[in-house]
Amino acid sequence: MIDMSMGPVHISSGPGSNSSSMCLTMVLNALEEDNKVIWMTKNLPDQRKILDVLGHLDDSVLNRMIAVEFGDELSRKIDGINSILSKFKKNDLLIIENWCKSHGRAGLKEITLMKKLVTKYNEIKIIITSESYEDASGKNRGLQGLMSRGGKTIEDYFRTVWLTKIDNQYQKVLITDGEKEILVEYTKKGYKLIS
């Protein structure tokens, strides 16, 4: 769904695009391909949502996943999993959902932390997510006037992939990855491609 072969990805999600469900979908894909996953999120979503997407997996598969709720302690929680990350292999996945606040500018501390993660663990797959925001400059920069958080530093270290809710299309989202656009639909089992 999202090509991870070209390095770390920053998912910038527009209003109503449900990046949490995209994260769960990416977790599911990685686990189904026999990889390990660390899924870090500011707040874990409702258990029913997790069960809908991952509930059909057996324990041997789920044992390859660690879920970490970090609240306001992202740096400390990352320090706590460094020893695990150092053992991750090329196709294993680290997801950090809502790596920065959803209002105002991304903090220098968080930006520096993301930069260090990519530098230290450049062999594994890394996805971070944040909410996009409206361009206040009047220049209509970014994607359809939406900007991604973290500025040039994050853009230098992560490829930005946009999630955009399609108006008047129930549960449909457009993934924009450079010139490539993919239409997906949210189901109880996560996002599915629309053919």
> pLDDT digits over 152-166, tens only?
999 999 999 999 988
Q: Domain for residue 3, yes or no?
A: no
Q: Domain for residue 4, yes or no?
A: no
What total of structural domains would you count in the chain?
1
Distance CA 95, CA 39 (A): 5
Q: Do residues 153 and 111 touch, judged by C-beta distance below 8 A?
A: yes
Average pLDDT over residues 12-32: 92
Q: Do residues 39 and 127 touch, judged by C-beta distance below 8 A?
A: no
Written as six digits, the tokens of 9 are: 């990805």
Distance CA 190, CA 132 (A): 21
- pTM reported for the whole predicted model: 0.91
Q: Domain for residue 161, yes or no?
A: yes
> What is the radius of gyration, based on Cα positions, of the chain?
16
Q: Domain for residue 50, yes or no?
A: yes
Q: Domain for residue 118, yes or no?
A: yes
**Residue 47 in this model has a pLDDT that exceeds 70:** yes
Distance CA 35, CA 59 (A): 14
Question: What are 117-159's pLDDT values in tens digits?
Answer: 999 999 999 999 999 876 655 555 556 657 788 989 999 999 9
Q: Which domain holds residue 20?
A: 9-193
Q: Domain for residue 142, yes or no?
A: yes
Q: Domain for residue 64, yes or no?
A: yes
Written as six digits, the tokens of 181 are: 């656009």
Looking at residue 172, which CATH number applies to its domain?
Answer: 3.40.50.300
Written as six digits, the tokens of 94 are: 């680290």
Q: Domain for residue 2, yes or no?
A: no
